[in-house]
A = this chain, B = another copy of it.
């Protein structure tokens, strides 16, 4: 009665700081069931399935698995491949040959779409097996989830970046622009707001892809802040776009790449920061205008992990194994917020997740479209985890002038 066979786990899309927690959560939970004959890992996501590149995770030690759980970036390797029907047929040929009956794919919305196609293909050919999508994405853009594993740690990193950038900008005044990852969803850029402690702390301005970006309004915002504080710290999403949906970096520059999904390749380039810095310099003749593009560090930096995120990433893996093996069900594990702060996990139909993008709700963005609201702060605070470093400042009074 119980479906006996092998487990296959794969990881897809961009790595996160806690994606291996989910991997290890699945492995350790799956080990408890006698009907699981072996636990395999596919190298480099679905491409490792068609190429039949599997490792036998049954032979891993628990200590090493825990070390891997605490290591960022997909331990099995990843892929950007998006399987079509032919690709899926190849996958089945391989999976059937190995008696794989449980397929777990850890990934974002592109990966969940892969799971959906694979599951349908399985039904078509009458192959009895369970498919599970386990969420991960630093973008926090999966439907049906309060938030996604990987976001909390990336948000913590971005917060730490802006805490430091704000202090640097206070010490040597000027304008600082930090460009944050996020093609369509502004959650990660919005996390920069968590860096603010004192009323004059930056980021003073936050620009998200959810609101049209107008260069003239941007420049006017910067002037207001600069006039008030003599400095300005700006967080801008790499995906900021105009009212027609055209990315600002494309509108003002020309060369971009496209990856296999047709997504515009925005990361790893300083173009947007340079554009914004140049416009500010030219308009206001402020000497010290600097831009950083945080790039791949946001998803891979070793040493900025939210303990909340770490725990939840582990649990979504465990829950996926339980739903598939114990309950014989298919779907995507989602995180639901059930308290302040508490979560529970739900099995959700994959059709509600696959290939869809969740954006920042209106309640999280201020009216001027240049910062976040208190509602966003309340939402984000528990996700960053405990023991966030604190930025102190002097309270010493000014000394009376004697000379002039």
**How extensive is the interface on chain A, given as a class?**
35 or more
In the complex, what's the smallest C-beta–C-beta distance from A208 to chain B, in angstroms?
Answer: 21
> CA–CA, A169 to B5, complex, Å?
33
Q: Which DSSP category, helix, strand, loop or mixed, fits chain A's interface?
A: loop
B-chain residues with CB within 8 Å of residue A76 when the two chains form the complex:
394
B268 touches A78 (CB 8 A): no
User: Known: A52-B403, A398-B55, A403-B94. Is A77-B171 also a contact (CB below 8 A)?
Assistant: yes
Instruction: Choose from B68, B176, B269 the contact partner of A393 (Cβ within 8 Å).
Output: B68
Give, as a whole number of angstroms, the nearest-CB distance from A242 to chain B: 23
Q: Are B168 and A300 in contact (CB under 8 A)?
A: yes
Copy total for this chain:
2
Q: In the complex, what residue of chain B is closest to A281 when comparing beta carbons?
A: B257
Instruction: Convert A55-90 into 0s and 1s, putting 1 for each residue whose CB lies closer than 8 angstroms to a CB of B.
Output: 111111100100110111111111110000000000
Give min CB distance, A232 to chain B, whole Å.
15
Q: How far is the CA of A345 from the CA of B297 in the complex (A)?
A: 36
Chain B residues with CB below 8 A from A401, complex form: 52
A54 touches B176 (CB 8 A): no
Asked if A399 CB lies within 8 Å of chain B CBs, one says yes
Q: Is the C-beta of A97 less than 8 angstroms from some C-beta in chain B?
A: yes
Return the CB mask of A94-121 against B: 1 if under 8 Å, else 0.
1001100000000000000000000000
Whether A56 contacts B397 by the Cβ 8 Å rule is yes
Q: Given the interface contacts A55-B396, A394-B76, A395-B60, does A167 sit within 8 Å of B292 by beta carbon? A: no
8 more CB-based (< 8 A) A-B contacts, given A73-B167, A160-B303: A55-B394, A55-B399, A56-B396, A165-B300, A167-B302, A268-B292, A269-B291, A292-B296
Confirm or deny: A1 has a beta carbon within 8 angstroms of a beta carbon on chain B: no
Please judge, given known A-B contacts A15-B167, A296-B168, A399-B54, whether A160 and B302 are in contact too, CB under 8 Å: yes
Asked if A376 is at the interface of the complex by the 8 Å CB criterion, the answer is no
Contact A290/B268 with A399-B54, A399-B56 known, Cβ cut-off 8 Å: yes
Q: Is the CB of B170 within 8 A of A297?
A: no
Return chain B residues, CB-CB under 8 Å to A40: 399
Cross-chain pairs A/B with CB under 8 angstroms, 15 sampled: A52-B401, A55-B397, A55-B399, A73-B168, A77-B170, A79-B172, A80-B172, A161-B301, A164-B297, A164-B301, A165-B297, A268-B292, A269-B291, A293-B293, A302-B391
